Structure 1
């Protein structure tokens, strides 16, 4: 009797302990879910408080690493890079010890974002490719999509629109297969940026509209800031000032609901652009621009500052403040060179050329113009527009086929589950077992489809690498040709100057 009582007591104790552990696990997971939700809406301070509370309930090293991973995500979004490095180091150490590939994928991907923000594109590419290789090995299509999107942004910053659009469409395809709304909204916005740079404004607007529609449904406030800034500026190009102001005002409203200084600065800069183009009110424009620069300098956002300085230089030039104007242009050029951003370097040289030309200093105007042309021509340009359209058509066709197969498989599985349940209710065990076998077989087929998808992504990656090698060979040949042409041009210029001297 005593033994039985002890057994019952021990059994109850085990139940209590197990239940307590389950409750702790549930509390921990709820904290992480709430923290993630706050990150996605830009409420970073609340997310940080939740995550620090979650550390008390982490209980395992893996959970601890998950928390540090999210804290690193918040830090990079706020551009608090010193804090980011600390949390990233904690998470990386634990993930490496545990050999947690999923965490390592995310950490390498985020390091790529950090290096890209710092203008270290080679290091960014290394981190992205490490993350991509790990993702393909694990068949993590959601992660593969994120990395393709980031590689697209990297290639866009480097002036390679072909590789950018390839990666963006690869990302979109995978985001849609995984029904990742946030990823879809972001990628549509990225694709829009490429079409804008190719001069296809109407296409760019349509892609932004699709992205905004998706982001509104999931209340993606940070994403809506970016999308509304972009579409607002596109409408300015179309001279539709009413729609431009509507979207740019919405961008400011969404931005000020987040705790993201980078987004707020971008929204203020967008309003400055509106005042410059639409109303020609340079005084108000300069006020918006100054607010944007102050925030961007606070968070040391070099990429944005390299563009804001140019715009501020333009404004100072418009009110005949030559010293301030030159200083801003010079800052823009220096910063763009340190970031190796060819688009921005070319732009800064062009503005300096215009600056000197308007003041009668034609030699300096000519020198800066030559540099502008040199950098502009080094960027892969509009000749590849037909290739971009080819990628889009291919994507649309493959997407349609994939969606049909996925839909049919999902419907079949759902129907088989219903038939199995009905057989069990009717007491027909044999039929229920038959349906279960069919479910298992179809599930295996689905796994095979997923495997084929991962093989496709590997093939795409291989094709991208091959195209890079071919491109490098062509680029080398083109560089040699340009060097010869410059040599001939210099000889011609020298002859002209000598002739002028004798005259």
Structure 2
């Protein structure tokens, strides 16, 4: 009996030693694996995706070799994050299911919740927002709500984004507040993240027309920017608050504009200072204070001339100053001097975009001064450069698309080969598991085989879609080339007509006399009557619309009159209330002014032709992007377009374009932008794309008028698609039927 007890004690001690050895091995494996995880995270944060993938693969292989499933799970989590950030959603979609299996195997609810969050993110970035919302809410309810972490904060933030995309702004704001709460709970010194979240919440309230709350949260964001010591971002925040105060409190708007410039100068960041000056000039132009606008433009020009680092932006500033002097009418000679500087620099750099725009401004300048010969000459040059840019951009786009297609095809072949090898390996491991009677492991291998097979099928489908897109692009290029030829023929015909008109004018001035002059006016009268007859029904509709709008403006004016009367009555006894009435009246006046401008343009029959709409769009975009120092590329249809849009659709198309360009200029911090308009059959398409910072996924969907954009698109029966990734730019696509 004593011997039996001795054997039991010895066996127990041996098992204890084995268990302790195994525990030390697991701890060592954990340290090694998560050291690789940290390295991958560092590369991922810096945007070095290949290196990040390399260390994730090493971590996964090491963990598998050491039979450390937790390491395998977190390697897959990080790989999924990288694929999502790269917008490679097909590969990302194949991994969360495997991660979930590891989570269930380890009985680790955090791993399961993270995999669920990633599944929801993939649905969100695939524009399947209903599916994303359901998945986010499921895992927030089951885990994240009770276990605050950085993953929980991201889940709340991304849920807010999807809710905003579906138009639920209040719920979006509520989830953003939960995200902020988690950040504050986890790390009270995390000032940068808190500032970003507060700024995004400010944008939501600004979109909801709650300017008081928008300003309140924007100021809180400034507080944390200041604690973080981020002077450059302080400058940007002050610029934003200044714009919020426009039409509300001019004194505060001016104060924050001064702070914007002050912080920019303190940062000693030359590009930030130039940006502050240009922003100040734009705000001054918005107030019609051209003198102040010119002063800030000249400061920006002085810095740009000294640095010699941004010659194209310097050229844009020359054009902007020339436009300010030309519009003010105070000094035409100075306007010409700045246009000449812009022209000389553009020629030195062979900058087709700036040459196109300066020729357009010179044509407008001489047309305003009734020098039609010079105006025509510059306009012909403007058209020549415009068509050249369109043609070269089309060729470049096709070449780029072909390159991307071939690269994607090669990547698919590599992926397919790797997948086949992986499937073979899994088949062997499955057979080994079956031989060892490990049926659970065999089933897991079978699941992995099925997932890899599905991913391979999806990749093949993507390649097929790219082939179709390339064929479509080639057809569009051929159509564009034909349109360019037609436009050139039309331009030559118009040039010939203009020369004939000039000859007739000279003949009239020399010796035609009153008889020819009378015949000229009679001919114009005949043409006018014919046009009136042809468009009688259309004009009747426009008159009805104009009457309705007039009634609306009349009602607004009556409201302004009432507000002014109320202000007078309260001026002595309640000055605060009187100031409120006056501010409200000022907002109404500003709204009426903007409405009248758009009404006059939209109702005027002169602008039925889409070419006039395109000219207005290009001028608006050029003014906005030039002010931000954003290099841009325009791709517009030729003059020979035959598509006609109804007045309401044309108005919504233009307002959607304005909103997209305005958001890009104000929020993207982009260096380059691309604006493309194309017409195929009875369908017009618009693309507005930039390489800026993209949306913050927490609230960007509701902070920049995106809900209104979707509503306008829905009213017009159009299809609107907005894609954005942080640090990867934004892409807005619109397709509208004629």
- Could you say whether these structures have the same fold, taking a TM-score greater than 0.5 normalized by the shorter chain as the test? no
The TM-score normalised by the length of structure 2 is 0.32
